[in-house]
C-alpha cells in the first residue's frame, strides 16, 4: 500500500482542548516532534503524567470549555485546533445527560463561535464516534459513511449534534472543519482503571495485575480496534489538507476481531512481555450495557484513504504489544 506522509509542522500554532487526555496527549507528543508550537487547554492537571518529557515544550492553560471567554482567548491566533475536550463515557452520558450536553454540545459550540468571532480561518478537527450510527445490520458491514445515523446513547447523540454543528459552520461561514468518526481506540496514555474509558486498556491492566478479565456472553461479538498511533496520524493528516474541509470520515481498521480473540491477544502479550499470567471468565451481559451496545462493528476507512492516503499501519496484535510495553514500567502512574 502506498505510504502517506505527515508534513513537518514547524511554526504552526496548535491548540488542543482536552490536551492532557488520552488522544490529546498523544497528539501533543507527536506535534512536539514535528516542531509545532503546542498549547494545551485543560480543566485540571490531574493527567499531567501524559506529557511527561515534553512539559517544557508545550504551553499549558487551565480553564473550562464551557467558559466562552476562556475559549475565545484560547483560539486566538491558532492555525489548527484539535477540539478533544468533553465527556467521553457512554455510560456516564446516560447517568448524567445534562452534563454530557453541557461539555460536548455547548463546549463545541463555544469553540465554533469563538473561532467565528476571532479566528475564522483556523482548521478545526473534531473526534466523533462510529457509535453515532447506532446498531448496524450485519449486511451493512463494513460500515461506510452513507449509513443512517440512529445513536443509542446520549453521548453518541451529542457527538452527532456536534458534528452537525461543524458542518453548518463550514457551509454557512466557510470555516475549515472536519470530524473523524473513531472506532474503538486503545493504546499508550489511556486510563486503565475503568471500562468507561477503554475496555482494551483496562483488560491489559487486569492481566498485568493478575486480576480476572470478564467477558460478556461468549465473547463472539465483533469489534474494530485501532491503535492510538494510527489515529494520531489520521488527525494530523486531516489537519494538513484542505480536501477534508466540511467532511466527516470513518476511522477504523476494516478488520473485524472477535472480542474474545482480543482478550486472548492481551493475555498472550502480557505473558510474553511481563511474565504475568492473565485469566478470563465468561459472565452474563449486564442489562444496562446490553441495551446500549451497538453489536458487531467493522469500519470501512476507504473514504478517508481516498482523501489523505491514510491507512492503519499498526495492527491489533502489534498495537497491544506496544501498549503493554508502554505500561510495563509506568503502570503505577495510571492506577
The SS3 of residue 134 is coil
pLDDT for the residue 279: 96
pTM: 0.96
pLDDT for the residue 294: 75
Which positions ≥6 away from 24 have C-beta within 8 Å? 16, 17, 18, 40, 82, 84, 85
10-residue mean pLDDT profile of the chain (335 residues): values are 91 98 98 98 96 97 98 98 95 95 98 98 98 91 95 97 98 98 97 89 96 94 96 98 98 96 98 96 85 85 97 98 97 93
Which positions ≥6 away from 306 have C-beta within 8 Å? none
pLDDT for the residue 292: 75
Helices (H), 40-79: 68-75
Residue 76 has which C-alpha cell?
Answer: 486566538
d(CA 282, CA 92): 24
pLDDT for the residue 289: 75
The distance from CA 199 to its chain's CA centroid, rounded to whole angstroms, is 13
pLDDT for the residue 314: 98
pLDDT for the residue 100: 97
Q: Which of 187, 234, 153, 162 is nearest to 21 (CA)?
A: 187
Which positions ≥6 away from 256 have C-beta within 8 Å? 141, 142, 222, 223, 224, 296, 297, 298
Superfamily covering domain 13-189+225-254+299-313: NAD(P)-binding Rossmann-like Domain (3.40.50.720)
The distance from CA 43 to its chain's CA centroid, rounded to whole angstroms, is 18
pLDDT for the residue 271: 97
Characterise 219 by phi-psi region: left (phi > 0), alpha (psi -120 to 50), beta (else).
left
pLDDT for the residue 66: 97
pLDDT for the residue 304: 98
- Do 148 and 155 touch, CB atoms closer than 8 A? no
Amino acid at each position: 500500500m502506498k505510504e502517506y506522509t505527515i508534513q513537518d509542522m514547524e511554526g504552526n500554532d496548535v491548540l488542543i482542548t482536552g490536551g492532557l487526555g488520552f488522544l490529546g496527549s498523544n497528539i501533543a507528543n507527536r506535534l512536539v516532534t514535528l516542531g509545532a508550537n503546542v498549547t494545551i487547554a485543560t480543566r485540571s492537571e490531574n493527567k499531567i503524567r501524559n506529557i511527561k518529557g515534553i512539559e517544557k515544550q508545550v504551553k499549558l492553560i487551565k480553564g473550562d470549555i464551557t467558559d466562552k471567554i476562556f475559549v475565545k482567548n484560547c483560539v486566538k491566533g491558532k492555525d489548527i485546533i484539535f477540539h478533544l475536550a468533553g465527556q467521553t463515557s457512554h455510560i456516564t452520558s446516560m447517568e448524567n445527560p445534562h452534563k454530557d450536553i453541557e461539555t460536548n454540545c455547548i463546549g463545541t459550540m463555544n469553540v465554533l463561535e469563538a473561532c467565528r468571532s476571532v479566528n475564522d480561518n483556523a482548521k478545526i478537527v473534531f473526534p466523533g464516534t462510529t457509535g453515532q450510527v447506532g446498531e448496524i445490520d450485519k449486511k451493512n458491514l463494513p460500515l461506510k459513511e452513507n449509513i443512517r445515523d440512529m445513536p443509542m446513547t446520549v453521548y453518541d447523540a451529542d457527538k452527532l449534534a456536534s458534528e452537525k454543528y461543524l458542518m453548518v459552520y463550514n457551509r454557512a461561514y466557510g470555516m475549515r472543519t472536519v470530524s473523524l468518526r473513531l472506532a474503538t481506540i486503545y493504546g499508550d496514555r489511556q486510563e486503565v482503571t475503568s471500562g468507561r474509558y477503554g475496555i482494551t486498556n483496562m483488560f491489559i491492566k487486569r492481566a498485568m495485575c493478575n486480576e480476572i478479565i470478564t467477558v460478556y456472553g461468549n465473547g463472539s461479538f465483533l469489534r474494530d480496534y485501532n491503535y492510538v498511533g494510527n489515529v494520531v496520524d489520521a488527525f494530523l493528516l486531516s489537519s494538513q489538507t484542505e480536501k477534508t474541509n466540511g467532511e466527516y470520515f470513518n476511522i477504523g481498521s476494516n478488520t473485524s476481531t472477535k472480542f474474545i480473540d482480543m482478550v486472548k491477544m492481551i493475555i498472550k502479550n502480557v505473558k510474553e512481555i511481563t511474565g504475568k499470567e492473565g485469566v478470563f471468565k465468561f459472565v452474563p451481559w449486564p442489562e444496562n450495557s446490553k441495551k446500549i451496545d451497538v453489536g458487531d462493528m467493522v469500519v470501512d476507512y476507504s473514504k478517508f484513504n481516498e482523501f489523505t492516503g491514510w491507512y492503519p499501519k499498526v495492527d491489533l496484535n502489534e498495537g497491544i504489544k506496544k501498549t503493554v510495553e508502554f505500561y510495563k514500567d509506568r503502570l503505577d502512574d495510571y492506577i
